[in-house]
């Protein structure tokens, strides 16, 4: 009788599985909470979809770069974004060249990084990246004349969705040369992603650079993952949110700012109408001679502050922000 009851239970459970009333996958879906920049994750439960999608942006409608088989191990390269019912993580694509992109956390499970190259500034600078011309270059040799493949996507424009750039850094993994390479990979001066039309895209560019540096950056809402516009972004920076204000109009403030960027740490100049990235550089004679990288009325990898804000009356209103 016991054998019959056991057999009956097996048959009933088998019928439930067959008709889809019970799912074995639901109990093993990965939790995204343990993941973070620099950690590694293994692809799981993606066979039914033909592998886990790697996309240019955190959206199911954005360009598909490749699919990854179960067991593929990826390195997380930035902060997550929640959009369209998924939590998305940027990652290195599981190895190979220029495979970085976004994938849904439902199919990623934290694992150790055994066998993965160390996540260091040196390795980031020594990696080979594919350019939009389908040629290849070492990250440290980029000069901003050619952008890295996929960084030209205008998906969502005029509210471009965030990218997962291949050259990245994070707190504790900074250098001036890596900061420069991160800036140069976007080649803002020629990249159609930032081309001025009825709008300018200073916020989009600043968001792309900061996210590549592992800095959490605000988006408009859970239904719109584009970077905040310049005015609310300025308010967000002034409120703190991990950023500290410095005043390069004073000698001590200038020294703090220049030492900071030359250590490869992120810095921004901002007003309620514009935001720009402050580059590594030698100490200028005045804060108006600071070199910036920006999108805006002029898109440039290296532009003097006085040429970014062309009206001298606006110079006193500019605030400067740093973070690790």
Which domains, from first to last, does the chain contain?
A: 30-111 (2.30.30.170), 121-322 (no CATH)
Name the pTM for this structure: 0.88
> Pick from 205, 204, 164: which is nearest to 188 by CA?
205
* 295's tokens: 């999108």
Tally Cβ neighbours within 10 Å of residue 24.
8
**Residue 258: HSE in the Cβ half-sphere, 13 Å Cα cutoff:** 18
What is the token pair recorded at 304? Answer: 């003097």
Predicted local confidence at residue 313, as pLDDT: 97
- CB 175, CB 121: distance < 8 Å: yes
- Give the list of residues 6+ apart from residue 48 with CB closer than 8 angstroms, or none: none
3-state helix, strand, coil in the chain (%, to 5): 30, 25, 45
SS (H, E, C) 22-41: CCCHHHHCCCHHHCCCCCEE
Task: Compute CA distances 296 → 65, 94, 184, 319, whole Å.
Answer: 29, 35, 17, 17
- Residue 164 has which token pair? 């997962």
Q: How is residue 215 written in tokens?
A: 């800095």
Location of structure tokens 């540096």: 213
Q: Which two tokens stand for residue 231?
A: 């005015």
Tell me the DSSP string of 296-308. SSS-EEEEEHHHH
pLDDT of residue 35: 93
Instruction: Give the span between the Cα atoms of 123 and 135, in whole angstroms.
Output: 20
How far is Cα 103 from Cα 62, in angstroms, rounded to an integer?
11
> So what's the pLDDT on residue 94?
87
What six digits make up the tokens of 101? 């992109």
Neighbours of 85 (CB within 10 A): 9
β-bridge mates for residue 59, sequence order? none
* Burial call 220-256: b when 16+ CB within 10 Å, e when fewer: eeeeebbbbbbeebbeebeeeeebeebebeeeeebeb
Contacts of 278 (CB under 8 A, 6+ apart): 257, 261, 267, 268, 269, 290, 291, 292, 320
For residues 138 and 185, what is the distance between their CA atoms, to the nearest angstrom? 11
Position 95 scores a pLDDT of 73
pLDDT of residue 49: 82
Residue given tokens 């980031």 in the structure block: 124
Per-residue pLDDT of the chain (324 residues; tens, 9 = 90+): 433 344 344 343 343 333 332 222 222 333 344 899 999 999 999 988 899 999 999 999 999 999 999 999 999 999 999 999 999 999 999 876 778 999 999 999 999 999 999 999 999 999 999 999 999 999 999 999 999 999 999 999 999 999 999 999 999 999 999 999 999 999 999 999 999 999 999 999 999 999 999 999 999 999 999 999 999 999 999 999 999 999 999 999 999 999 999 999 999 999 999 999 999 999 999 999 999 999 999 999 999 999 999 999 999 999 999 999
DSSP-derived letter for residue 61 is T
């Amino acid at each position: 009788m016991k054998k019959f009851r056991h057999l009956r239970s097996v048959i009933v459970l088998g019928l439930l599985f067959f008709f889809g009333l019970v799912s074995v996958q639901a109990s093993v879906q990965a939790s995204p909470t343990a993941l973070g920049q620099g950690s590694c994750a293994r692809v799981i439960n993606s066979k039914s979809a033909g592998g886990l999608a790697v996309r240019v942006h955190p959206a199911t409608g954005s360009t598909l770069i490749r699919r990854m088989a179960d067991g593929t191990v990826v390195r997380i390269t930035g902060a997550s974004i929640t959009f369209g019912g998924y939590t998305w993580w940027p990652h290195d694509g599981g190895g190979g060249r220029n495979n970085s992109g976004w994938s849904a956390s439902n199919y990623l499970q934290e694992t150790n990084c055994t066998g993965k190259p160390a996540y260091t500034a040196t390795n980031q600078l020594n990696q080979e990246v594919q350019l939009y011309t389908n040629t290849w270059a070492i990250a440290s040799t980029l000069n901003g004349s050619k952008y890295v493949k996929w960084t030209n996507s205008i998906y969502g424009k005029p509210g471009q969705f965030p990218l997962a750039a291949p050259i990245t850094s994070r707190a504790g993994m900074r250098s001036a040369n890596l900061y420069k390479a991160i800036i140069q990979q976007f080649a803002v001066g020629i990249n159609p992603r930032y081309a001025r039309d009825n709008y300018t895209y200073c916020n989009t560019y600043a968001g792309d650079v900061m996210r590549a540096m592992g800095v959490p950056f605000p988006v408009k809402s859970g239904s719109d993952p584009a970077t905040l516009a310049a005015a609310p972004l300025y308010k967000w920076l002034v409120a703190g949110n991990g950023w500290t204000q410095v005043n390069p109009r004073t000698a001590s403030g200038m020294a703090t700012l220049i030492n900071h960027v030359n250590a490869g740490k992120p810095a921004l100049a901002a007003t309620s109408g514009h935001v720009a990235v402050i580059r590594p550089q030698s100490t200028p004679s005045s804060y108006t001679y600071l070199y910036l990288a920006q999108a805006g009325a002029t898109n440039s990898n290296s532009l003097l502050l006085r040429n970014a804000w062309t009206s001298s009356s606006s110079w006193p209103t500019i605030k400067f922000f740093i973070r690790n």
